[in-house]
Structure 1
Amino acid sequence: MALSYKARRRWSLVILLVGLPLYIVVAVTLVGLLERPNILVELLIYVGLGVLWALPFRAVFKGIGKPDPEDEGG
């Protein structure tokens, strides 16, 4: 079942306002458990984790920046 535009918009807000900060805390905690790696390795870990969190949510974020396709008022 596909989500409506309004539902995807609401879910994207929840993901960005609640999920992303939680994911950042978890990522920083996990990297903190390692002994301090080289700065380039640490940067690559954060970039990789930054891309990885968004992959499952591609369908939710797709088209959110565009106007509502069902909006007749324009």
Structure 2
Amino acid sequence: MALSYKARRRLSLLILLVGLPLYIIVAVNVIALFERPPFLLEIVVYVVLGIAWALPLKFVFRGVSRDDPEDSNTDRH
């Protein structure tokens, strides 16, 4: 079952305001458990982790910035 536009919009807001900060805290704490790698490797790890959170959630964010396709009031100019 596909999520409605409003559900995707609410879910994306929840993910960005709650889920992403929690993901950042967990990622930094997990990285801190290991010995500090060389600087360039550490940058690569953080870049990969920064991209990895969005890949499984891209269906939620797709089209959220556009106007509601089911909205009949398209005269918002």
The alignment's C-alpha RMSD in Å is 0.6
CA distance in 2, matches of 1:73, 1:39: 52
What SS does structure 2 have at the residue aligned with 1:69?
Answer: coil
Which entry has the higher C-alpha Rg, 1 or 2? 2
User: After superposition, where does 1:1-74 map in structure 2 within 5 Å?
Assistant: 1-74=1-74
TM-score if structure 2 supplies the norm length? 0.93
TM-score by length of 1: 0.96
Q: Could you tell me which runs of 5 or more consecutive residues in structure 2 were left unpaired when the two chains were aligned.
A: none
Q: For 1:40 and 1:67, how far apart are their aligned partners in 2?
A: 41
Q: Kindly state the Cα deviation for residue 35 of structure 1 after the two structures are TM-superposed.
A: 0.9
Q: Cα offset for 1:65?
A: 0.6
The offset of 1:34, in angstroms, is 1.1
Distance in 1 between the 2:9 and 2:39 partners?
A: 36
Structure 1 runs of 4+ aligned residues shifted over 3 Å read none
Question: When the two structures are aligned, how many residues end up with a matched partner?
Answer: 74
Q: How far is 1:66 from its partner?
A: 0.5
> Which letter maps to 1:49?
L
